[in-house]
């Protein structure tokens, strides 16, 4: 896949783009790495080629003191490390890069009733179909908007997710309710951009100029539905994916199956949903219950 970038402003930028393309980095990663290097160069006031190990140390301190989030700070240093290690071959600079440990947070999830209310308040059929896909199949926003006709396999009742995060393909289930919604949406879907596009390649949710809707647009629709449903939690569209995994776990679905459905590379990533599966947690018998039961049994023996 060819990544589109503006005309390189410097030979160093051109070399870095070539290095990233040669290693098959995705468009999002390339953009993030270039943004990180631009931020470092702006702070440094000169080309990163002239940086010293102390410059790298002081820049990391600057990021922390300026209130940059840990996630953004680590992302920035990942981009710089690629520049130092691969493009500049300055291992002395790469050795100064360190990452901060992100705080472990419990994923925020919605109850089944809350999800039902959000879907009911979706502003229109298109929004209801997209939000149903996000929750009913555990899809990311980018995966929903990129769906094409050929990805839907009504015969086998599956949806093929092609080259998602990490450049991985996977299959997810296609619930009957969602298949019905997709068929209803197809009768209303704008077809002005279909001219010359083979049937399987037609996007399900067309945007402008032959492209699909953006992830930002579906996120905006979710926020609108959540407000209308009276949801006051600080939820995002990704909350539906968290809720999908948590509700499956509570229903007793094997965690490795959930891992495959979500496309997680590591089981530990999926396992975190056990901490918010309230149904499973509530069903666990406390050791205090065992002590109380033993006390009751002892009292009955004395009475007899």
Residues serving a catalytic function are 140, 165, 238, 241, 264, 273
Burial (Cβ within 10 Å: 0-12, 13-18, ≥19) of residue 137 = buried
d(CA 85, CA 78) in angstroms, rounded, equals 10
CA angle (160 as vertex; 157, 164 as ends), nearest 5: 150
Task: Specify the residue for token string 């949801």.
Answer: 231
CB 191 within 8 A of CB 201: no
Token pair belonging to 259: 């891992």
Q: Which of 240, 273, 281, 278 is nearest to 257 (CA)?
A: 273
Residues 6 or more apart in contact with residue 136 via CB below 8 angstroms: 175, 177, 178, 244
d(CA 60, CA 66) in angstroms, rounded, equals 10
d(CA 227, CA 293) in angstroms, rounded, equals 46
CB 109 within 8 A of CB 63: no
The secondary structure of the chain in percent helix, strand, coil, rounded to multiples of 5, reads: 60, 5, 35
The number of beta carbons lying within 10 Å of the beta carbon of residue 161 is: 23
Task: Specify the residue for token string 């003191």.
Answer: 65
Strand partners, 161: 170
**DSSP annotation of 164:** E
């Amino acid at each position: 896949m060819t990544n589109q970038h503006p005309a390189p402003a410097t030979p160093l930028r051109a070399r870095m783009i070539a290095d990233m393309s040669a290693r098959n980095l995705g468009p999002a990663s390339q953009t993030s790495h270039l943004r990180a290097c631009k931020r470092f160069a702006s702070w440094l006031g000169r080309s990163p080629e002239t940086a010293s190990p102390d410059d790298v140390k002081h820049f990391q301190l600057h990021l922390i003191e300026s209130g940059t989030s840990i996630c953004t700070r680590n992302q920035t240093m990942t981009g710089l490390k690629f520049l130092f290690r691969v493009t500049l071959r300055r291992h002395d600079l790469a050795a100064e890069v360190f990452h901060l440990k992100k705080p472990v947070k419990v994923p925020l999830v919605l109850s089944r009733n809350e999800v039902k209310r959000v879907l009911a308040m979706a502003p229109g059929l298109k929004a209801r179909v997209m939000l149903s896909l996000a929750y009913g199949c555990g899809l990311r926003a980018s995966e929903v908007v990129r769906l094409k006709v050929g990805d839907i396999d009504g015969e086998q009742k599956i949806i093929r997710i092609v080259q998602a995060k990490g450049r991985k393909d996977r299959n997810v289930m296609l619930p009957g309710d969602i298949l019905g919604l997709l068929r209803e949406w197809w009768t209303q879907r704008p077809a002005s951009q279909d001219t010359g596009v083979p049937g399987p390649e037609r996007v399900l949710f067309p945007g402008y100029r032959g492209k699909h809707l953006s992830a930002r647009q579906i996120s905006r629709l979710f926020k609108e539905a959540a407000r209308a449903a009276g949801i006051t939690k600080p939820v995002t569209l990704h909350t539906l994916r968290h809720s999908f995994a948590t509700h499956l776990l509570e229903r007793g679905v094997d965690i490795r199956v959930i891992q495959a459905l979500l496309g997680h590379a590591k089981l530990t990533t999926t396992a975190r949903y056990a901490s918010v599966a309230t149904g499973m947690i509530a069903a666990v018998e406390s050791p205090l219950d065992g002590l109380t039961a033993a006390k009751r049994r002892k009292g009955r023996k004395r009475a007899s």
